[in-house]
Amino acid sequence: MDMLDEFMDGPERFGGFSTGTLTVVLACALLSFGAGIASRRMIFPRLMDALSKIERIEEGNPFAPKSLRWMVVFFVMWYSLDWLSAMVVLDDGGLRESGPVWDAELMETVMTVAWGGFVVLVLLTAYRLVDYLDAFIVVEGDNMAARRSLASVAESIGRLAVVVVGFFVVAGLFGVNLNGLIAGLGITGLALALAARDSVANVFGAISIIVDQPFNVGDWIIVEDVEGEVVTIGLRTTTLRTGADTMVTIPNSNITNSPVENFSHRRFRRIRPSFEFEEDSNAAQLRQFCESLCEQVLADPRCTKPEDSWVRVTETLPSKITVSTNFYCASSGKTQREFTEDILLMARARGNESGLKFHEPRRRAQM
């Protein structure tokens, strides 16, 4: 300490700073920047590895947000200057006996700005770090869709909490007296409660969605005649991306009070093509068609639930005979499309083999 005090001592040369004091202040600034870079690129990733319960849902930048770096820079700078200012010793006449030689008023302003910047950056960093909550969310069975849903709601709650706390912190930082505002809340509480009724209902709707899990992020659903993929589940609304690539926002309270059809929870997909033959088709030919088509489709490895699969004559009219089918395949859109196409081609081949004529309305109109 004596060596540092001796180093900072000397005549004023640069704006009220001695050469030694200016050197120490610049060293503090360099130290602050170094601490900020190290905290973002080295310390934060190691802390995440040590504390996180599971890998993050989205593999992104492993480093902390840039606001954390600047938060550390402002804090280390403020702490260093505050430590240096504590070394100042004044004599009975108010003159400096030891400590840094600098412009005290200027450095007081710098420390105030550094502290204010640190507080604001703490709030900004907390808001940014909410995105990292998914590394601490673990669900039974490692259900990725459930993790996405929980992370979506947790991030919404976290951001709301940071905004509310930040409002009071920043107000206090600027010397705003909140006592009157808090007292006024008691008078206007009823009006606020009535105005926020829908918002509260939406928040409880989000909680119901997370608890009951009628769907998760990434599921394809239909709710209130809107069909699309669940993109986010927020505190107030749930966002769907439709097949037309548009975004639809639905209040959570509406979802909890409406039927939800979830296509992503299907265990299988149903295939039900039907075929129409001329009214003079022979019964034996029709029976041969039904049996041969059913046998060929059931032999395909993509076919599931054979006990519930069938091909039968379901309707006879004066102009045509209808044969309906019922088959199942795995819950895959690609498999369903390919299998449906193959069943149609099989039916055409089996119909020609059986000597049947497919119904053609235009031919009858010409006759």
Which CATH number characterizes residue 191's domain?
2.30.30.60
**107 shares its domain with 23:** yes
Last residue of a domain, one of 107, 133, 159: 133
End-to-end CA distance of the chain: 114
**114 shares its domain with 185:** no
**249 shares its domain with 336:** no
**217 shares its domain with 288:** no
**192 shares its domain with 308:** no
Residue 250 host element (H or E): strand 247-251
Which CATH number characterizes residue 318's domain?
3.30.70.100
Last residue of a domain, one of 108, 133, 158: 133
Short-list 294, 332, 317, CA closest to 364: 317
**277 shares its domain with 223:** no
Residue numbers of the domain that contains 311:
268-366
Sheet holding 247-251, edge to edge: 247-251, 237-242, 226-233, 220-223, 260-262
Sequence-distant (≥ 6) Cβ neighbours of residue 126 within 8 angstroms: 162
**88 shares its domain with 58:** yes
**246 shares its domain with 149:** yes
The strand ranges marked E within 7-136 are 89-90, 96-98
**121 shares its domain with 224:** no
* Residue 321 identity (one-letter amino acid): I
CA angle 179/180/184 to nearest 5° reads 120
Can you spell out the DSSP letters for 188-235? HHHHHHHHTHHHHHHHHHHHHHHHH-S--TT-EEEETTEEEEEEEE-S
* Residue 59 identity (one-letter amino acid): E
Cβ–Cβ < 8 Å for 101, 25: no
Last residue of a domain, one of 133, 163, 196: 133
Short-list 325, 257, 255, CA closest to 291: 325
**121 shares its domain with 31:** yes
**235 shares its domain with 331:** no
Q: 3-state DSSP call for residue 337? A: helix
Give the bridge partners for 230, in sequence order: 240
**Calpha distance 326→307 (Å, rounded):** 11
**339 shares its domain with 238:** no
**Calpha distance 262→249 (Å, rounded):** 17
Domain count, the chain: 3
For the entire predicted model, the pTM comes to 0.56
pLDDT tens-place values along the chain, 367 residues long: 678 777 887 788 877 888 888 899 999 999 999 999 999 888 888 888 787 766 666 665 666 788 899 999 999 999 999 998 888 766 555 555 667 888 888 889 999 999 999 999 999 998 888 888 777 765 555 667 677 777 777 888 888 888 888 888 888 777 777 666 666 555 555 555 556 678 788 888 888 888 888 998 889 999 999 999 999 988 889 999 998 999 999 999 999 999 999 988 888 999 999 999 998 899 999 999 999 999 999 999 999 999 999 999 999 998 899 999 999 999 888 999 999 999 999 999 999 999 999 998 765 544 4
Residue 321 host element (H or E): strand 320-330
